[in-house]
């Protein structure tokens, strides 16, 4: 079990050599509690973690390099595979960035639908994250309650776009298909049934001795550290940073809705759990407001913008439609981008998910940088776990919501 981490430099080798009773434990890359493929080499003093050295890159598949050869609509399939717990949010983040680079203003109906799916993705992500924290600290029933509800969200997504897991729902300047009455019906049913599940979940663990003991006071992140270490999203808000891009830089239709941003000052795993639970309630509020007020009209920008494929009716009935379709579908013909660079971020479930895009005139990005929240949050893991026991590793890891596919890209 004790493996020497030869290629991993310890921060204080000289210090460690004196204390030869320290031993090294290899956690991962394939461990049930890492949930995905990541490795941590820990120096242990008995059960106490003296130092932790994350070793990542096991899932590195060159997503940013792929972004330099796939066009703006094709790359959305790759963003699905980054944070595969909430692919819809990644889709929206990607196309928000592309539309900013191109200077496209999407239609109100598209904005509302994107807001709804973003919030459903947030609920799905938080359910998994909190469920996994529960699972790792012994609350198996809690996890099943969460997963059962995620299944409903997958069902909604399947009805909406035909795919449960890798949705690829957005397109530059619009969506792949419009929302149908059946989807709206399913979301309404979800809105009705979900609050009860949330209450049940909270009743299961909020005052559960085992869960509270294992999460309260564990992995404390202060406000200053959270700022300095670039924490965003629920992790930053659990540490007292009142920043939410939905409020601070309103994108999509968020300015239209009434919702609050739950925060905590404590900054431990339990606070992160509570913030996520509260955020799900707020998401539900947003969905309720958005669903009853979806504006009528087209989901795609007008064909004159020459970014979205015209409808089949237009393609077959009008010469302009045929030409537009031809121009967009042919290689080397697609839409034109400025020779410029832009950064655009959305409040993804995990934190600020941004894309830094460099356009070079063609419909393929010259550089497609992704700012992955998991990567930035995992960097503070050694700091959070130092001094805690080995059993706290899973609680901290779970509450940071590390998705290795997004971590390594």
Total of chain residues touching another protein, rule CB under 8 A: 48
Stretch that binds another protein, among 100-108, 172-180, 270-278, 323-331 (CB under 8 A): 100-108
Separation CA 271–CA 374 (nearest Å)? 18
Under the binding rule (CB under 8 A), the answer on residue 89 touching another protein is: no
Separation CA 100–CA 115 (nearest Å)? 17
- Report whether 269 contacts 219 (CB < 8 A): yes
Nearer to another protein, 109 or 243 (CB): 243
Write down the least CB distance from residue 118 to another protein, Å. 18
Neighbours of 248 (CB within 10 A): 10
* DSSP letter (8 states) at residue 12: T
Stretch that binds another protein, among 182-190, 192-200, 273-281, 377-385 (CB under 8 A): 377-385
Under the binding rule (CB under 8 A), the answer on residue 320 touching another protein is: no
Write down the least CB distance from residue 344 to another protein, Å. 7
The phi, psi pair for 116, rounded to 5°, reads: -60, -45
Q: Half-sphere exposure of residue 182, counting CA atoms within 13 Å on the CB side?
A: 9
Nearer to another protein, 216 or 223 (CB): 223
The phi, psi pair for 342, rounded to 5°, reads: -150, 150
- Report whether 373 contacts 6 (CB < 8 A): no
Nearer to another protein, 11 or 260 (CB): 11
Query: Which tokens is 197 given?
Result: 């599940």
- Report whether 218 contacts 396 (CB < 8 A): yes
Among 309, 371, 385, 397, binds another protein (CB under 8 A): 371
Under the binding rule (CB under 8 A), the answer on residue 249 touching another protein is: yes
Nearer to another protein, 115 or 344 (CB): 344
Convert residues 20-39 into a mask of x (bound to another protein by CB under 8 A) and - (unbound).
--------------------
Write down the least CB distance from residue 252 to another protein, Å. 14
Write down the least CB distance from residue 101 to another protein, Å. 8
Nearer to another protein, 143 or 375 (CB): 375
Cα→Cα distances 94→49, 78, 88, 344, 355, Å: 38, 10, 10, 9, 7
Among 116, 162, 172, 135, CA closest to 301: 172
Sheet of 351-358, strand order:
341-348, 351-358, 367-371
Write down the least CB distance from residue 208 to another protein, Å. 34
Could you write out the DSSP letters of every residue in 46-104? Answer: TTEEEEEEEE--TT---HHHHTTTSBTTTTHHHHHTTSTTSHHHHHHHHHHHHHHHHT-
Under the binding rule (CB under 8 A), the answer on residue 43 touching another protein is: no
Write down the least CB distance from residue 256 to another protein, Å. 19
Among 253, 63, 66, 94, CA closest to 171: 94
Map the footprint of another protein across residues 338-357, applying CB under 8 A.
339-345, 352, 354, 356
Stretch that binds another protein, among 22-30, 99-107, 181-189, 254-262 (CB under 8 A): 99-107
- Report whether 147 contacts 405 (CB < 8 A): no
Write down the least CB distance from residue 176 to another protein, Å. 25
Query: Which tokens is 279 given?
Result: 């955020």
Map the footprint of another protein across residues 209-238, applying CB under 8 A.
225, 227-232
* DSSP letter (8 states) at residue 240: T
Among 101, 123, 175, 393, binds another protein (CB under 8 A): 101
Query: Which tokens is 377 given?
Result: 């949050």
Write down the least CB distance from residue 297 to another protein, Å. 24
Write down the least CB distance from residue 225 to another protein, Å. 8
* Residues within the interface to another protein (CB under 8 A): 7, 9, 11, 56-57, 60, 62, 64-65, 69, 100-101, 103, 225, 227-232, 241, 243, 248-249, 339-345, 352, 354, 356, 358, 360-361, 366-367, 369, 371, 375-376, 378-380, 408-409
């Amino acid at each position: 079990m004790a493996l020497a981490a030869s290629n991993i430099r310890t921060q204080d080798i000289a210090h460690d050599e004196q204390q030869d009773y320290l031993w090294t434990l290899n956690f991962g890359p394939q461990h049930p509690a890492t949930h995905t493929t990541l490795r941590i080499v820990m120096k242990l003093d008995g059960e106490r973690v003296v130092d932790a050295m994350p070793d990542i890159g096991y899932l590195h598949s060159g997503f940013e390099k792929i972004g330099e050869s796939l066009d703006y609509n094709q790359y959305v399939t790759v963003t699905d595979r980054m944070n595969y717990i909430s692919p819809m949010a990644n889709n929206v983040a990607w196309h928000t960035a592309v539309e900013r680079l191109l200077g496209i203003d999407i239609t109100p109906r598209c904005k509302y639908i994107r807001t709804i799916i973003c919030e459903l993705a947030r609920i799905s992500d938080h359910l998994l994250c909190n469920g996994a924290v529960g699972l790792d600290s012994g609350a198996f029933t809690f996890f099943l309650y969460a997963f059962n509800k995620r299944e409903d969200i997958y069902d909604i997504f399947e009805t909406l776009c035909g795919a449960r897991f890798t949705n690829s729902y957005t397109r530059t300047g619009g969506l792949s298909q419009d929302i149908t009455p059946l989807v709206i019906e399913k979301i309404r049913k979800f809105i009705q049934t979900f609050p009860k599940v949330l209450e049940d979940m909270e009743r299961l663990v909020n005052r559960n001795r085992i869960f509270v003991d294992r999460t309260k006071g564990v992995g404390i992140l202060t406000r200053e550290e959270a700022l300095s270490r670039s924490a965003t999203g629920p992790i930053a808000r659990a540490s007292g940073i009142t920043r939410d891009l939905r409020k601070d830089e309103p994108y999509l239709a968020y300015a239209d809705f009434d919702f609050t941003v739950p925060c905590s000052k404590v900054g431990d795993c339990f606070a992160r759990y509570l913030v996520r639970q509260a955020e799900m309630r707020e998401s539900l509020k947003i969905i309720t407001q958005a669903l009853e007020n979806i504006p009528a009209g087209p989901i795609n920008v007008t064909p004159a913008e020459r970014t979205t494929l015209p409808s089949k009716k237009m393609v077959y009935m009008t010469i302009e439609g045929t030409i537009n379709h031809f121009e967009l579908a042919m290689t080397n013909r697609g839409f034109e981008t400025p020779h410029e660079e832009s950064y655009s971020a959305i409040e993804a479930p995990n934190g600020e998910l941004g894309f830094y895009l460099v356009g070079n005139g063609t419909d393929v990005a010259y550089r497609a940088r992704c700012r992955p929240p998991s990567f930035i949050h995992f960097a503070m893991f050694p700091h959070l776990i130092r001094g805690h026991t080995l059993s706290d590793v899973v609680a901290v890891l779970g509450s940071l919501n590390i998705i290795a596919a997004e971590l390594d890209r």
